[in-house]
Amino acid sequence: MLPQTASAIPRSVDEFFLHWKNISKTGLMPTLGSFLDAPPFKRQSAVAIVDVLGPTEMRFRLFGTGLSSLAGHDLTGHDVLSNFHPTARTEASHNAWSAVTKPCGYFVRRDVRHGPFKTHAVGVGLPLLHEQSGRVCLVVFSASVGKTVETAGPEPAEFVRTVTLIRWIDIGAGTPDAVTPEAVLSACAQ
């Protein structure tokens, strides 16, 4: 079980983190190949793998079938941040970029909406080393934990409405607690 705020973390998210921890590692993290070769996680359909190419450039390498049914279509190969409301993109890009550059992991809450329905999900993002490119990508698991409610009004273009960092996960290289999303984007703009 995870220390601190464990009550905010659903059991399935905790189980995915432990699954990731038990995969053989190269340095601080598993490789993409070792993750893909490991016995599949029992809720594999709620897993996405994200290629983080820059602070605001991210593509879904893999988008699980459970996530696809929630989003309404398969997002494999698509731009990640285009699925986030503009006000949530800064936090989402900060979390992902920090996780691959530190490296570290994170627990996050996302408020999502599809059609007339909205709910929230708690998830975890963890780094994987891509053996061929040497880049670090992310594996993300999400568990829907909120009550799904019907809303009125037009469907928004973005699937993820808000992103809230719950806490960073130190995998051995520390955490970026003192770095704000605005500081990351400002440094990248220079």
d(CA 189, CA 93): 14
pLDDT at 55 over 60: yes
DSSP-based three-state secondary structure for 8: helix
For residue 43, list its beta bridge partners.
none
Phi, psi of 189 (to 5 degrees): -80, -15
Phi, psi of 146 (to 5 degrees): -90, 160
pLDDT digits (tens, 9 = 90+) for 9-35: 899 999 999 999 999 998 999 999 999
In this predicted structure, what is the pLDDT of residue 143?
A: 87
pLDDT at 188 over 50: no
19, two tokens: 């699954």
Set out the domains of the chain in order of their start, with CATH numbers: 6-189 (3.30.450.20)
Scanning the chain, the segments in alpha helix (DSSP H) are: 11-21, 32-37, 65-71, 86-101, 181-189
Share of the chain above pLDDT 90, in %: 55
- For residue 156, give the DSSP letter: P
Q: Which amino acid is at 115?
A: G
